[in-house]
Chains A and B, each alone.
Chain A
């Protein structure tokens, strides 16, 4: 996608961006949690598309398999375990909703302002047009430069696994 015409790139970008944002909003606002989960999946898939548009193929696959196929499936399992009928009848937004929205918009607004004002410094950077094979690059970096974090990450996953089992275990069982 690096060498595609710029209009196509914009088109894909706006499409996936819009999809992501739309799904995100719908996720946050949904009454039914399962719907929210589906919308999150949608948002994540849209993000994967963005990755693809950015010629990050390996990450695109990882996103789809791991994030959507793993994490979101886990979410859906848990949603099924928890009784949500009662929850869905309750008020969905808590008491601080207006203040929180206001503040977050202020936050976002500020960050946006900062980007807008100073974002021009990035224009001087020329992105290279052709890149080496993404997966090779990622593999090389991952197993050479970032070997230690990789191992630590695996230990962390082990710990998380044990933790999750421990947390969800029934007492005495």
Chain B
């Protein structure tokens, strides 16, 4: 097996990109997609370590994460649709009603 640090670095890289996407993009759909990217990065990490230890627990955890990601994506997209219906916008910058 490849030394596990490679997978850690890969996961790290994807995490970084995902965080940048969350923090930086104005389009809420892209933000949601970046969140999926982050979850994905975490999955890679889990699976790598599960392989390293020869146990399957990491993969099971990864399955649950994917389940969770699905649910969250569904609800999140429902919210985006509701938001779009009310506000006519998908830009996060323009949804600042809770501003001081």
Bound together: yes
User: A interface, how many residues as a size bin?
Assistant: 35 or more
CA distance A104 to B30 in the complex (A): 17
Q: Chain B interface mostly helix, strand, loop or mixed?
A: helix
For B34, give its contact among A28, A108, A128, A167 (CB under 8 Å): A28
Is A81's CB under 8 angstroms from B78's CB?
Answer: no
Q: With A66-B70, A112-B9, A156-B71 in contact, is A164–B53 under 8 Å at CB?
A: no
Per-residue interface assignment for chain B, residues 66 to 100, with 1 indicating a CB less than 8 Å from any chain A CB and 0 otherwise: 11111111110111111011001111110000000
Binding site for A on B (CB under 8 A): 1-10, 12-21, 23-27, 29-30, 32-34, 36-37, 40, 43-44, 47-48, 50-54, 56-57, 59-60, 62-64, 66-75, 77-82, 84-85, 88-93
Interface residues of A (CB under 8 A from B): 2, 6, 9-10, 13, 17, 20-21, 24-25, 27-28, 30, 33, 36-37, 40, 43-44, 47, 50-51, 54-56, 58-59, 62-63, 66-67, 70-71, 74-75, 78-79, 81-84, 86-87, 90-97, 100-101, 103-105, 107-108, 111-112, 115-116, 119, 122-123, 125, 127-128, 131, 134, 137-138, 140-142, 145-146, 149, 153, 156-157, 159-161, 163-168, 170
